[in-house]
Structure 1
Amino acid sequence: MPEYLTPGVYVEETSFRSRSIEGVATSTFGMAGLTRYGPVPYIATLPGNRVLTMTPSATLVTSFAEFERAFGGLDPVGTLTDTTNYLAFAARAFFANGGRRLYVARVFPFTPDPNDATAIGLTENLAQLAVGTPVVGTFRARWPGVAAQGMSVSVRLKRSKNVFSGTLKGVRPGALIELFSDNTVPKDDDPPNTAALRIVDALNATTVGLRKADGTVEAVPPGTQSAFRLTVTVDVRWGGRFDSYPGLEVDPSGTNPRSIVNVLRSGEPADEMAVVWFDPGAAPASPADVLAGLLTLSSGIGGYLTLGGEGTGLTASVIKGRESDPDDPSRAAVGLGALAEVEDIAIVASPDAVRLAKAEQVTATNDLIEHCAPGAYRIGIVDPPKDSSISKVREFRAQFDTSYAALYYPWMDIVDPTARPDPGAPPPLIQLPPSGFTAGIYARSDIERGVHKAPANEVVRGIVGFKQNVTFDRQSVLNPEGINALRFFEGRANRVWGARTMSSDPEWKYVNVRRLFLFLEHSIERSTQWAVFEPNNHRLWASIRQSVEDFLVTVWRTGALMGTKPEEAFFVRCDRTTMTQNDLDNGRMICLIGVAPTYPAEFVIFRIGQWTADSQQS
């Protein structure tokens, strides 16, 4: 009871309604695998024994254009025999089929750290700029990978058109200034006099001065000055990407927010998808030295960011990754472990598993199933091995039994957007696994109808056809075993024609039933956290019952539950019949919920017979 110690009138707000339960998103997709470049955790050793630690998490993209900017395009990736960029193609297929939100956890098979036998491999030097002569300050790739070999950086120096005489109005601390006499005003393209360069700095609390190369600050001398700014252009060479950063200041101390060391820093730059960063060196350099080094780049020599191979190759353990170490901030989550930290993900896949050997693909599939274990509130989409026959895909399917994953067969054929066919030649095709396409259909079905609708009898967009032809008779073998067929129907296009999980339990046979329960469980779990440590009495029980019942009524009205009235669709009990005194003594509040889900009309049967006008109906 609140304290009332001083006489007076107290006005307090209260609530007379139950707390509502909000349904969670079910269409967010997550993938872990190889990409051309992009965020990945690592530790790099830089010159001067400096250590750079990068710990990005899974990255959200909401379109394929965003994916291309963050992770590169569809060009080949990896060092195995099969270099098809399966994850990028899956992302493209996901968005083409109606997906809207995708989290990507890039994996990179680093060479294992010899000092840590348990490490997936974190020690790897970054690319650095290779130019004709050493420079003070270096552009480095933010993310490792051979794609850095195709990137280049150019720097253009631009003299301000404003000429200042004795005052520096509108020039912020950190700006680069050149001093010259009134009768020697340089042209815009004249090289600067490095001996006359100064950095604007605070002379005292109210006045700015000029910092010289030795670090001392002097008053602004009489005469004329002009300011310099840089424009840094990065040619990524993949997907036609060009990044331009205009109006940068040279100041290596980072005083100015537009300083090159601030805008193009390694961690959390202004452009979170930047692929390069500027390393000013182990010790602060003078502005003249930094500028001289930058001008080396603009002299036409150019510089390419290089790095060695992609490590030791992709394995199931690399895709699985690991969860973050709560006691070591430098050991960030990678692979599927990074996706596990994103609560919003409801669908997950690892398309790169198909490039592995048979035993490794089985291991990677088991890792995906384990990732989708109870409590994760997500379902996995499994790809069959490449070029699988009916017998081979049945053999592959027989190794798993779970209601938290679904298998689709066969692979897809699409027109290869990366190929350049000869004039008059037929467009080249490329084979792709179905996970990206079906994940997009999951999302599309959820958005248009709801998670209770089976993601089947839906058109697969953006494909030429299926690699194998699944007929009616062939599906009669696949469907009972939980292998969802992808089929072509004359006049009805290419469609998903199955909605079963890989479970032997008939209660969890259908994908939409499993996903409906994941939706209900996750929504209730997330929206009832307020009840923890509340007094465990009838008031709490009644409030919980009301919240859950209100939520389930809303779900029932969408058509997700059976029954013509709520009493037929669900029940909620939370009282002394669901809890013993021992439960109460041990702080347990138990609410029992039963729902009647709607099952898909997988077999639509019309029974028809002859009828005459004088037939009598019983």
Structure 2
Amino acid sequence: MPTNTSYPGVHVEEIPSSARTISTVTTSVTAFVGHTRRGPLNEPVRVTSFAEFERRFGGLTSRGALGYAVHQFFAGGGTIALVVRVAARGTGKAASVVLHAGDRRKDCPVLAVHAKEPGAWGNGLHVTVDHDTNHPEETFNLHVADARVGVRESFGGLSLEPGHGRYAETAVNPSSALIRVEVLDSGLPAASGTVSRPFDGELPDLGVELTAKIGDVERDFTLYEEDVDGEAPCTVAELALLLERKLRSLPDAPGKRAFAGATVTAFGDRLQTVAGSTDPADEVRFRGECAGDLGLDETVRPPAFPLECGEDGDPPGPRDLIGSEARKTGLQALRDVDDVNLLALPELAGYESTEDVLAVLTAADRICRERRIFLLVDAPASWSGVDAVRAGITAFDPVRSDHAGLFFPHLQLVDPLSGRLRSFPPCGAVAGVIARTDAERGVWKAPAGTEAKLLGVRSPSVRLTDRESGLLNPLGVNCLRSFPVVGAVVWGARTLAGSDVADSEWKYLPVRRLALHVEESLRRGLQWAVFEPNTEQLWQQIRLNASAYLHTLFRQGAFQGGTPREAYFVKCDADTTTQEDVDRGVVNVVVGIAPTKPAEFVIVTIQQFAGLPQA
């Protein structure tokens, strides 16, 4: 703002700099699209470790290759993955259970609880209900747990009345990672376990003999003994503590905690007794002459309500992988996602039909071009040798894209599920190598060579010689090889358009990826220029910002040349933007870069010469 010069003297003011920084975008975030055990369908989910993948998507499964690819990606140096779960259309079912009313309408269903996502994983969930709230006649607590992984969620003070502040659907569905609920009718769901009748007024005589039966095990005990238990309970809450202590002291069945983990809760003037197991057969029943007087035999239900009938979806077919652009399913789910640099489709290598493979690759290439993504293509599993590759590579002619690279052969790794050696598509391991190379050297460094080790890989499934590699490399096939001491490595860095016959300017994978990186960084970094006055001042600022960004890459070794003039140029002036362009609201920026190309062939010439005579 202008300085107020109301008095004689020196006035100092700060003005903002006109220079804007262009930040570099990510280079190795890898999207994996395919089959998983669990997880949201057709929804991109970002994970930063394989442990997180296991929590969100259920880990490895023998029915799909995606989990293994993600495992190899993180083991090889990857840091961020984007996973899209896809299942065959019409398959898969979410586990569920219906809770009924706990009042006089005992046969009335009031609340349906569904697993958050389809899959058999939901069959391991169970829910419990109690009424231990400030208003036990109107609200309830819902607890859900997955005992296999020790995950538990609790939601308190819920109501089935739509106008209530803790309406079940709005309180549970947005926040739960395990379930979603559907209100079927008003009322109150029945509490799990055994619920007593109300204790009206003073407590009855508690020095009685009772029999507790949980499942097939019966135990006799005295509820209250003055010389053992001290002062007699005076309230329902004190009675709950006494009964819980008595149950937990009883001998349990071998290997179970039905008695040892039993809980007794007081809500209002009632008691709720729940066995310490989640087995639906472990209902708590009280017997004895005085059990009816205490009201402990009023209502008996299972200790937990298990979710059932969950089914895994079948692995996706080609149409499922391609997906629908309108519904954003399959590959189309990536259209609205920023910061995706690599795409892996590990399911594709198992398809037997070449037509199916080409259909998916065509759809994937279209998305990669629109979103500036590089596609990692696995060689078909049927390619068992060099001759099979040379015969089959011609089928890929319709999809020879400079936005994709083909890798052969598959890799031999130990399957963590079986402990046996088996072959896997290489895309996950290759993506890990690319991520590691980007972090250590930069996106302009070819992710190949003796530094590009395939960590954790026993060997390629096909052992290639120098001569065989020399037959495949000119065809645009990136070989995966094994060398003594070094081990398994990536030994090729060409795009699918990089065959010698094609003579493409995007022959090399690092050149293509560097260009994509520069394009996306400039696109985002120059957003500020939109709607600015289209004048020489704007052009000068664009030149300054773009040149500063490219000079940073030059100093890091991304370009050829010994000086900036030899490495890059930025042109934005009256020559690139004419008056006609200005009238149409267009400003043209021309950027040129001289990327470094990999030293694919190192030729050493040795000449023998006779020693020179000494003077």
Corresponding residue for 2:346? 351
The unaligned stretches of length 5 or more in structure 1 are 42-56, 77-82, 112-120, 160-174, 178-196, 201-227, 326-330, 420-426
Q: Give the distance between the partners of 1:15 and 1:291, measured in 2 at CA.
A: 68
User: Alpha carbons of 1:596 and 1:301: their partners in 2 closer, same or farther (altered >3 Å)?
Assistant: closer
Please give the secondary structure, in 1, of the residue aligned with 2:505: helix
Tell whether the 8 Å contact from 1:137 to 1:290 is kept in structure 2 after alignment: no
**1:128 partner amino acid:** S
1:245 aligns with 2:153: yes
Aligned residue among 129, 137, 140 for 2:111: 137
Question: Aligned partner of 1:485: which letter?
Answer: C
Uncovered stretches (5+) of structure 2, i.e. residues with no partner: 101-106, 196-271, 281-300
- Counterparts in 2 of 1:318-357, with a 5 A limit? 318-323=320-325, 325=326, 331=327, 333-357=328-352
**Cross-structure match for 1:369:** 365
**Aligned residue type for 1:571:** F
- Report what 1:315 is aligned to: 317
Cα offset for 1:278? Answer: 3.2
Counterpart for residue 416 of structure 1? 415
1:108 aligns with 2:87: yes
Q: Is the 8 A contact 2:554 2:564 kept in 1?
A: yes
**C-alpha distance in 1, partners of 2:74/2:87?**
24
Aligned to 1:276: 179
Contact 2:111 2:184 in 1 (8 A): no
Report if the CA contact (8 A) 2:109-2:185 is conserved: no
Contact 1:176-1:199 within 8 A present in 2 as well: no
Which residue does the alignment assign to 1:214? none
Match of 1:306 in 2: 309
1:415 Cα offset (Å)? 0.9
User: Using the alignment, how far apart are the partners of 1:131 and 1:253 within structure 2?
Assistant: 16
Question: Structure 1 residues 263, 418: closer, same or farther in 2, change over 3 A?
Answer: farther
Pair 352,275 (structure 1): closer, same or farther in 2 beyond 3 Å: farther
Question: Is 1:486–2:487 an aligned residue pair?
Answer: no
- Following TM superposition, by how much is the alpha carbon of 1:506 offset from its aligned partner in structure 2, in angstroms? 3.2
Give the one of 453, 458, 462 matched to 1:464.
Answer: 458
Aligned: 1:285 with 2:285:
no
Alpha carbons 1:38, 1:275 under 8 Å: kept: no
Contact 1:254/1:262 (CA < 8 Å) preserved in 2?
A: no
Q: CA deviation at 1:575?
A: 1.0
Structure 1 residues 451 and 474 mapped into 2: Cα distance closer, same or farther (>3 Å)?
Answer: same
Report the equivalent of 1:548: 546
Per-residue CA distance 1:475-494 (angstroms, 9 max, x = gap) = 00110111001000011111
Partner of 2:527: 529
- Given that 1:176 and 1:250 are in contact with CA atoms closer than 8 Å, whether structure 2 keeps it comes out as no
Task: Tell me the SS of whatever aligns to 1:608.
Answer: coil
Aligned to 2:542, what secondary structure does the other structure show?
Answer: helix
SS at match of 1:439: helix
- Cα contact 1:234–1:244 (8 A) shared by 2: yes
Structure 1 residue 291, shift from structure 2 partner: 9.4
Other-structure match for 1:128: 96
Q: CA RMSD in A?
A: 3.3
The separation in 2 between residues aligned to 1:310 and 1:487, in whole angstroms, is 36
* Deviation at residue 473 of structure 1 after TM alignment: 0.8
Residue 317 of structure 1 and its aligned partner are, at CA, apart by 1.8
Conserved? CA contact 1:441–1:460, under 8 Å: yes
Q: CA deviation at 1:402?
A: 1.2
Q: Which moved more, 1:349-358 or 1:139-148?
A: 139-148
Match of 1:600 in 2: 598
Amino acid at match of 2:97: L
Instruction: Decide whether aligned partners of structure 1 residues 580 and 260 sit closer, same or farther in structure 2, where only a CA change above 3 A counts.
Output: closer
> What is the rounded CA distance, in whole Å, between the counterparts of 1:406 and 1:437 in structure 2?
14
Segment drifting more, 14-23 vs 519-528: 14-23
Q: Measure, in 2, the Cα distance between the counterparts of 1:343 and 1:596.
A: 27
The 8 Å contact of residues 556 and 569 in structure 1, kept in 2 or not, is answered as yes
- Distance in structure 2 (CA, Å) of the matches to 1:470 and 1:257: 67
Aligned: 1:73 with 2:69: no
| One-letter identity of the residue aligned with 1:336 | L
Summarize the Cα distance change of 1:321–1:539 in structure 2 as closer, same or farther, 3 Å threshold: same
In structure 2, what is the Cα distance between the partners aligned to 1:308 and 1:383?
29
Matched, 1:64 2:67: no
Contact 1:248–1:260 (8 Å) recurs in 2 = no
- 1:103–1:459 CA distance, 2 compared to 1 (3 A): same
Change in CA separation of 1:243 and 1:301 when aligned onto 2, cut-off 3 Å: closer
Select the structure of larger CA radius of gyration. Answer: 2
Shift of 1:255: 8.9
1:390 counterpart residue number: 386
SS at match of 2:329: coil
> What SS does the aligned partner of 1:603 have?
coil
Residues 1:441 and 1:258: Cα distance change in structure 2 (over 3 Å): farther
CA distance in structure 2 between the partners assigned to 1:490 and 1:290 by the alignment: 64
1:167-193 Cα distance to aligned partner (Å, 9 max, x none): xxxxxxxx345xxxxxxxxxxxxxxxx
Amino acid at match of 1:471: T
8 A contact 2:160–2:187 mirrored in 1: yes
Matched residues, percent identical?
A: 33
Deviation at 1:252, TM superposition (A): 3.8
Counterpart AA for 1:360: D
Equivalent AA in structure 2 for residue 94 of structure 1:
F
Task: Look up the SS of the partner of 1:89 in the other structure.
Answer: helix
Task: Quickly say closer, same or farther: Cα 1:348–1:72, change in 2 above 3 A.
Answer: same
Query: Residues 129 and 192 of structure 2 are in contact (CA less than 8 Å); yes or no, is this contact kept in structure 1?
Result: no
Counterpart in the other structure of 2:295:
none
1:246–1:258 distance in 2 versus 1, CA, 3 Å: farther
Larger displacement relative to structure 2 (92-101 or 353-362) = 353-362
Superposition pairs of residues 380-459 of structure 1, within 5 angstroms:
380-388=375-383, 389-398=385-394, 399=396, 400-419=399-418, 427-457=419-449, 458-459=452-453
